[in-house]
Amino acid sequence: MNESAPMKILNIIAFIIMVALAFACDSNRLYEQNVDFTNETWHKDSVLQFDVEIVDSTAVYNVYINNRISGQYKYSNMFFFITTNLPYNNTLRDTLECILAEPNGKWLGKGFGNIWSNKIPYRKNIKFPYSGKYTFYLEQAMRDNELKHVASAGIRIERAK
């Protein structure tokens, strides 16, 4: 059955409003990029690189690690190595554990179908010490050479509220 012309117009208007609201709600985002993995497999040697230009070193930021897993992921957590190259040749290296499921096995984060998305706090309310280019390297730090059922991973930086 075909939709009537007025109903099509209403659906288009509703879609445009939803998209506009989604972008308006994300006005604090400075940077966000995610990398999709082929066959939902993150190889141990696959190091993700994110180059971020920080202009305002007086602003306060939150840094998050993003990840998306499928419901077949076999662990309740994930470990990451995060290396940050700051301007003027300074380097920081951290290990971060992300809890992805409750003890009873219920997945945390936002689910859609069989995919679960998480935005994990890495650094909250920080100031970057310099203006300039920051390079973040993200590695999976699990014991599996091929970490299965990981759809994507990435980084998000936003202005703190």
Dihedral sign of CA atoms 11, 13, 18, 23 in order: positive
Query: For position 27, what pLDDT does the model report?
Result: 83
The tens digit of pLDDT for each residue in 27-59 reads: 889 999 999 999 999 999 999 999 999 999 999
Task: Please give the Cα distance from 13 to 19 (Å, whole number).
Answer: 10
| End-to-end CA, the chain | 48
Asked whether the predicted pLDDT for residue 11 surpasses 80, the reply is no
Least confident of 27-31, 50-54, 61-65, 123-127: 27-31
Query: For position 60, what pLDDT does the model report?
Result: 97
Q: State which amino acid sits at residue 80.
A: F
Decide which of 2.60.120, 2.30.30, 2.20.25, 3.40.50 is the CATH code for 31-159.
2.60.120
Confidence of residue 19 (pLDDT cuts 50, 70, 90): very low
For the chain, the farthest-separated pair of C-alpha atoms sits apart, in whole angstroms, at: 64
Average pLDDT along the chain:
89
**What is the rounded (10 degree) CA torsion for 19, 20, 25, 29?**
90
CB of 77 within 8 A of CB of 120? no
Give the residue, 89 or 152, on which the prediction is more confident: 152
Percent of the chain with pLDDT over 90: 78
Start-end of H helices in the chain: 5-24
Confidence of residue 110 (pLDDT cuts 50, 70, 90): very high
Q: State which amino acid sits at residue 160.
A: A
**Average confidence (pLDDT) over 82-105:** 94
Q: State which amino acid sits at residue 16.
A: I
